[in-house]
Structure 1
Amino acid sequence: MNRYINIKQLFKCSLVMAALIMGASCEDYLERTPDSIISEEQAFQNFINFQGFTEELYHCVPNFTNRYWTNSWNWGEDEIETSAGDFHISFKIDRGNFWGWQAEHDGWGAGWMDRNNAHTSFQYGDDPRMLKGLWPLGWYGIRKANLGLANLDLMTDATQEERNLIEGQLLFFRGWFHFMFIQYFGGLPYIDEVLPGDQPLRLPRLSYHESAENIARDLRRAADLLPVNWDETVAGRRTLGKNELRINKIMALGYLGKNLLWASSPLMNLESTGSRTYNSDLSQRAAAAFGELLNLTESGSTQYSLLSFANYNRNFYTRGQNWAMPGGTEAIFRSPYSDANDSNWGTSKQYIPLIVGGGDATKFMPTANYIKNYGMANGLPLPEDITQADPESGYDPAYMWRNRDPRFYHDIIYDGVRVVQGSMPPNEVQHRFANLFTGGSYRDVRTGSRTGFANRKFIPIESNMYDEGHSFGNNLHINVPYMRLADIYLMYAEAASMGYSSPTGKAPNFDKTAVDAINVVRARAGVAPVNTKFLASINDFLSEVRRERAVELSFERHRFNDLRRWLLLAERPYTLKTSLEFDRAPGGYNSENPSESRIVNVREAVILERDFSEQHNWLPLKVSDVTIYPEFRQNPGW
């Protein structure tokens, strides 16, 4: 049979789940010219042609950081938007409307998980970040990966290294897209072949564990096929120095471990076995995957290492480096980007209150309840009631900003911090310092801080309308990674401790224990090791694992999935979003060193309590998809 492939047509086909799951052929052909069509034998014959086919999979990975003009990707109890941002998915999630992830329920399409079709014709134009959504492109990517795998035998003009590179990438993406889906929706059909378009589909939903085992198979095979560094391969030398985003062994191992750890977690174990505890076998397998990765990195056999704390911000943004991709040596998996300046323009303004930040009225602020996770520099946590002193840790509510975890000062703007560094009009200089006390000029429900804090983790503090740190000339590039090395250490700590029922549990292929791994991350930030009182029981240690994830990975899109998989999303106090109310003590404000300022009348006030139940542990699938055939059922409660 004479078969032909049209790459443009292939991209247009099957951008919705129905077409991909049912394998329906695309009949809406683009107008074709003879030179736009090549035979499959040509398309897949050699590495250059096949890699050109495979490259499109990278552009199926949404950039959640810069999906819209202002961007919402934190849906736990970690962040709250100003009231002007009531169109964002975070607003909908807080009110139990989990349908909001879907474009047809999302108004202006601010969510990164789905593509909005309603306004593209007059607002988005051809801006690709506005058109990318995980749901449509993930299914498209799975189909494309299967097409490539089905045609590997046509790659006749290639070396074994080149065949391995192609197969490894295809397997990785097939596993990665399935993993991204099941962590939000539970077990789904695993599509590992090109589905025919002339036959009805009756593939049932698998359990989470069954889905995860299929993903693990693909990711393990990908890790075995792929190199650590493409620059050190013959094929990779053709693009020497431009291979940092290409899928490699470390990425495959990282997601292999993450997939297994997620499958072992209480929510996923409950869905598959009825047990609300960790699955120790899956935890041990996760720890082994992470151990293999960490052995490679710690031996110096990879291009990855933790950034120094002095360079910590490079995980999230670069400036003055000709739009260099953020991440440095620590980022493992990142989304590609188109125009860095256009993408960052809204994101760089969404964290500083409007009165000095400029930009849109929609702002995203850390909640006071979440800030309590940032403990003291001596490694001890704050008391649950932050109005009370804690002699053991040295915490004093009158000097709430004193001697805190150094990541607090890096990530958070608190009361009295100098925001504007340069000149200001004389009638506005009172806003130079963050007036985040109750009634301060930075406190505003609609356009400022509702909580008494602001976020500086992803932006230089000069990103305000006076210093113009986000101007084009500063080359500010913001891109939060999907996965970085610090996350691997913390996932290893969780997997090793829960797999071996001890804070000193360790994988057989790695010499660090669970607590050792946490202490590596803490040491980088200058925080004392986990206190011995948390090593007496596995539950005590797990509380520190969770708190460390909350701090190190704050606002990086992990918290919502962590709370869900731990079965904590619907439990108090995780349903609460609070503000910190306080006054500056007379004569107690220290503008030179705000961490030494004294405050009074401290109290925590509830802004919002989220009314969640177990129904909210999974997102609802699209009605249009679950009505395709009975076996593809909706999630419980939706």
Structure 2
Amino acid sequence: MIKYNKYILLFLSVFLLAGCEDYLDRTEEGTGFSTEDEVWRDRAAINSFAFRLYDTLGWIFETRITHPDRFRAGRGKNYGCVEVFSGDIIFKRPLKVHSSVLAGDYMGIINEAFANPDFYDAWSSNWELVYVTNNILDRIDEVTTDIMPQNEIDQVKGEALLFRAFAYHELSKRWGALPYIKTKIVPETDLNLPRPTYRELITDIVADCDAAIQVLPEVSYLNDPVHMGRMGKAAAMALKSRALTTAASPNYTANNQKDTELWEMAAAAAWDLISLSQTSDKVGLYQGDYSNIFHTEPGTIEGVWPRYNVPISASRDLYRLSWLWRNINGDAGYSPSQELVDRFETADGWPINHANSNYNDQDPYANRDPRFYKDILYHDAPFPKVSENDRMDMRTTPLGEDRTAPNSSTYGNSATGYFARKIIPEKYNNKAYNRTLYVNAPYIRMAEIYLNYAEAVNEAYGNPNATAPGASLTAVDALNAIRNRVGHVDVRPEFTADEASFREVVRNEFRVELCFEYHSWFDMLRWRTAKEELDGKDFHGVLIIDDATQPTGVRYERFLIGQGERVFDDRMYRYPLRQSDLEVFEVPQLTQNPGW
């Protein structure tokens, strides 16, 4: 066991041990190093432990810009992306991570360290978080106010609690429930622990979130001159809402059956944050221009768990946008699928395949949900490329270069006839509009909390017109709040009469409101709809063909992308553990997930 624990210590402390552990162990005089006790009497060093927590989050936005291989690979090296896994995005360039997931071959990529954040980095980075947070929590209560102010002590402690809960949430939604380690890990620590049930795990996650809520001193640090970007109470409340919504979902409950009590808890957690936001000027459902949520200076009240980049100019190697338009040079990156585009309702609230929608597939972009025009670039959409009055020609590259083979180039035209617009600021490229802007990608934003509330109330109480105890919003009200703030109509009454009908509306609303925000794959997993939606399926794009007889002067023809038949079976609702972990660790209770 000692041998195993030394191995796990090395594994869990990928960065901390390299930067701190040897440092903490040095006691000899004249070396320039400090003892661990001396470090815990150093205000700057204590805060640096908290900053380390934030340093582990790069993987979650699908790009690891600090990874040395990324620089060696050159500009535009795209990483495996869950948006491709879900089918919301099509990427024609061959990439092993994408090909393996589409083929159902998870075992072929769990040991791939490069370009693989969701299977590889998520595992190692989150265990690193467990290690670091437990080190902080082991000593933070010993810190006195003569070393650092109480509000800073509380901040660091709250962050450690929050990030431990975050780590276990991210691990468990991929690999299932894992032992919740709450003590500092040393070579003598017994880590041969049984796997808990997911119900047991969520109890620990919620306990850490609640403890963080009690000590984090601010609702939010929006525009704070010192602490902007650090987490406050709202972030802990938001994670609690997300974690409970996940735990209550069919993929994580006992025998995949409804757990009404968990849905009730999820509804209450979401309402707690919505209620707080109703009297806060620091967190809430943003009512301004929808695009500002993702690229304002520096953010909006929408980002309850914010993610701010420093201002970035379009002429730099903008890796955080490379998956959209390759480094803003104007080559196509990832392309929205026709299936995602079809999820956007008509302007009067009908699904486009409904008999009452009056949808015209030869004038397909007229009279759609207002978010469609904020999220998707389509043929003839107004969008400044190199001048003010430009319109998009989807037969060219994003910035207008002609290509002879539409829908075929890896880095040229769109693969589907669409480009992502949501995260790209207008007048922002290194051809004509080389501006310096913030680009924000919140991990959790307020719209998700309203969606969580709507889903949880409907599932808990079997009625979309019900409210959570003490709440003033029905599930329908919560969904309408999200839709109305962008000028979309209320959910049509035809879809609010019963639990099942409203469930489909809520799930579609998740896919539309949170598109391109790394949600759809995990929502499909938690709902256990991925097999139905993906197995044996392929996806489509649209060809644009000149035709003067059509309303817009072109004819739209759907075509099959041809990625090869998708594979998704029941075992894929959990990621497999690495065989090397199971063999080297020699921990009998660390069992492989079913089917692998």
Please state which band the TM-score falls in when normalised by the shorter chain.
Answer: 0.7 to 0.9
1:587 Cα deviation from its structure 2 partner? 2.5
Q: Return closer, same or farther for 1:165/1:583 CA change in 2, 3 Å cut-off.
A: closer
1:287 aligns with 2:294: no
The 5 A counterparts of 1:482-521 are 482-521=443-482
Q: Is the 8 A contact 1:61 1:134 kept in 2?
A: no
One-letter amino acid of the structure 2 residue matched with residue 111 of structure 1: N
Q: Is the 8 A contact 1:499 1:505 kept in 2?
A: no
The 5 A counterparts of 1:121-132 are none
One-letter amino acid of the structure 2 residue matched with residue 292 of structure 1: D
Which residue in 1 is equivalent to 2:581? Answer: 625
Query: TM-score by structure 1 length?
Result: 0.79
- Supply the distance in 2 between the matched residues of 1:204 and 1:376 (Cα, whole angstroms): 50
- Supply the distance in 1 between the matched residues of 2:370 and 2:590 (Cα, whole angstroms): 48
Which residue in 2 is equivalent to 1:266? Answer: 250
Q: Is the 8 A contact 1:534 1:544 kept in 2?
A: yes
Q: Return closer, same or farther for 1:521/1:338 CA change in 2, 3 Å cut-off.
A: closer
1:370 aligns with 2:348: no
1:241 Cα deviation from its structure 2 partner? 1.9
The 5 A counterparts of 1:568-607 are 568-572=529-533, 576-584=537-545, 586-587=547-548, 597=552, 599-600=554-555, 602-603=557-558, 605=560, 607=562
One-letter amino acid of the structure 1 residue matched with residue 139 of structure 2: N
Q: Return closer, same or farther for 1:347/1:418 CA change in 2, 3 Å cut-off.
A: farther
Which residue in 1 is equivalent to 2:595? Answer: 637
One-letter amino acid of the structure 2 residue matched with residue 612 of structure 1: F
Which residue in 1 is equivalent to 2:400? Answer: none
Q: Is the 8 A contact 2:406 2:414 kept in 1?
A: yes
Which residue in 2 is equivalent to 1:42? Answer: 38
Which residue in 1 is equivalent to 2:68? Answer: none
Q: Is the 8 A contact 2:311 2:436 kept in 1?
A: no
Which residue in 2 is equivalent to 1:16? Answer: 11
- More displaced 10-residue stretch of structure 1: 256-265 or 55-64: 55-64
Describe the superposition over 1:410-429 as per-residue Cα deviations: whole angstroms up to 9, x where unpaired: 111112235564369xxxx9
Match of 1:333 among 284, 305, 316: 305
What secondary structure sits across from 1:486 in the alignment? helix
Which residue in 1 is equivalent to 2:572? Answer: 616
Which residue in 1 is equivalent to 2:417? Answer: 452
One-letter amino acid of the structure 1 residue matched with residue 245 of structure 2: L
Q: Return closer, same or farther for 1:73/1:583 CA change in 2, 3 Å cut-off.
A: closer
Q: Return closer, same or farther for 1:78/1:244 CA change in 2, 3 Å cut-off.
A: farther
Q: Return closer, same or farther for 1:278/1:112 CA change in 2, 3 Å cut-off.
A: same
One-letter amino acid of the structure 2 residue matched with residue 624 of structure 1: S
- Supply the distance in 2 between the matched residues of 1:478 and 1:379 (Cα, whole angstroms): 30
What secondary structure sits across from 2:117 in the alignment? coil
One-letter amino acid of the structure 2 residue matched with residue 456 of structure 1: R
Query: TM-score by structure 2 length?
Result: 0.84
The 5 A counterparts of 1:382-401 are 382-383=352-353, 390-401=354-365
Describe the superposition over 1:72-129 as per-residue Cα deviations: whole angstroms up to 9, x where unpaired: 3424434344332x22633432222324664x325xx2233466xxxxxxxxxxxxxx
Q: Is the 8 A contact 2:25 2:36 kept in 1?
A: no
1:413 aligns with 2:377: yes
Q: Is the 8 A contact 1:416 1:433 kept in 2?
A: yes
Which residue in 2 is equivalent to 1:250? Answer: 234
Describe the superposition over 1:500-558 as per-residue Cα deviations: whole angstroms up to 9, x where unpaired: 11102222232111110110000011111111111121110000001111110001100
- Supply the distance in 1 between the matched residues of 2:307 and 2:540 (Cα, whole angstroms): 33
Match of 2:512 among 551, 573, 595: 551
1:265 Cα deviation from its structure 2 partner? 0.3
1:111 aligns with 2:129: no
- Supply the distance in 2 between the matched residues of 1:145 and 1:574 (Cα, whole angstroms): 39
Describe the superposition over 1:142-191 as per-residue Cα deviations: whole angstroms up to 9, x where unpaired: 11211121113421235654443332222111111111110111110111
- Supply the distance in 2 between the matched residues of 1:154 and 1:29 (Cα, whole angstroms): 17
- Supply the distance in 2 between the matched residues of 1:510 and 1:541 (Cα, whole angstroms): 19
Q: Return closer, same or farther for 1:101/1:228 CA change in 2, 3 Å cut-off.
A: farther
Which residue in 2 is equivalent to 1:77? Answer: 86
Q: Is the 8 A contact 2:221 2:229 kept in 1?
A: no
Which residue in 1 is equivalent to 2:291? Answer: 313
Which residue in 2 is equivalent to 1:59? Answer: 55
Q: Is the 8 A contact 2:97 2:116 kept in 1?
A: yes
One-letter amino acid of the structure 2 residue matched with residue 332 of structure 1: V
Q: Is the 8 A contact 2:212 2:236 kept in 1?
A: yes
Q: Return closer, same or farther for 1:432/1:337 CA change in 2, 3 Å cut-off.
A: closer
Q: CA RMSD in A?
A: 3.5
Aligned length: 560
Q: Which runs of 5+ in 1 are unaligned?
A: 1-11, 116-132, 233-238, 319-323, 384-389, 590-595
Q: Is the 8 A contact 1:294 1:510 kept in 2?
A: no
Q: Which runs of 5+ in 2 are unaligned?
A: 1-6, 66-76, 398-402
- Supply the distance in 2 between the matched residues of 1:440 and 1:134 (Cα, whole angstroms): 40
Q: Return closer, same or farther for 1:167/1:517 CA change in 2, 3 Å cut-off.
A: same
Which residue in 1 is equivalent to 2:321? Answer: 348
Q: Is the 8 A contact 2:396 2:406 kept in 1?
A: yes
Q: Return closer, same or farther for 1:145/1:432 CA change in 2, 3 Å cut-off.
A: closer
- Supply the distance in 1 between the matched residues of 2:229 and 2:390 (Cα, whole angstroms): 45
Q: Is the 8 A contact 2:310 2:438 kept in 1?
A: no
